[in-house]
Amino acid sequence: MTVFDRLDATHDPTVHSWLAAANESGCAFPIQNLPFGIFRRARSAEEFRGGVAIGDQIVDLAALAQADLFSGDAATAIRAGSRSSLNALMQLGPQFSGALRHALFAALKRGSGHESALKECLVAQADAAFSLPAQIGDYTDFYISIHHARAIGRQFRPDNPLLPNYQWIPIGYHGRSSSIGVSGQRFARPQGQKKAAGAGNPTVGPSERLDYELEMGIFIGTGNPQGTAIPLEDAENHIFGLCLLNDWSARDLQAWEYQPLGPFLAKNFATTISPWVVTLQALAPFRVPFSRPERDPQPLPYLESASNRRAGAIDIRLEAYIRTAKMQQRDEPAQRLSRTSLRHAYWTISQLVAHHTVNGCNLRPGDLLGSGTQSGPTAAEAGSLVELSQGGSEPLQVGSDETRTFLEDGDTVTFRAWCQRPGAVTIGFGEVSGSVLPAANPGSSTAPG
Asked if 221 and 2 touch (Cβ cutoff 8 Å), the reply is no
Q: CA–CA separation, 383 vs 148, rounded Å?
A: 8
**Residue 148 appears among annotated catalytic residues:** yes
Asked if 177 and 428 touch (Cβ cutoff 8 Å), the reply is no
Asked if 243 and 133 touch (Cβ cutoff 8 Å), the reply is yes
DSSP 262-275: --STTTTT-EEE-S
Nearest by Cα to 348 from 429, 432, 239 = 239
Q: CA–CA separation, 105 vs 53, rounded Å?
A: 12
**Residue 54 has what DSSP assignment?**
E
Cβ-count burial 279-314 (b if 16+ within 10 Å, e if not): bbbbbbbbbbebeeeeeeeebeeebebeebbebbbb
Asked if 153 and 162 touch (Cβ cutoff 8 Å), the reply is yes
H or E element, residue 279: strand 278-279
Q: Is 172 left (phi over 0), alpha (psi -120 to 50) or beta?
A: beta
366: amino acid identity, one letter: G
- Residue 197 exposure: Cα atoms within 13 Å on the Cβ side: 2
Q: Which of 147, 148, 238, 355 is catalytic?
A: 148
Q: CA–CA separation, 143 vs 272, rounded Å?
A: 17
Helices (H) and strands (E) in the chain, counts: 11, 26
Q: How far apart are the first and last CA of the chain?
A: 54
As annotated, the active-site residues are 148
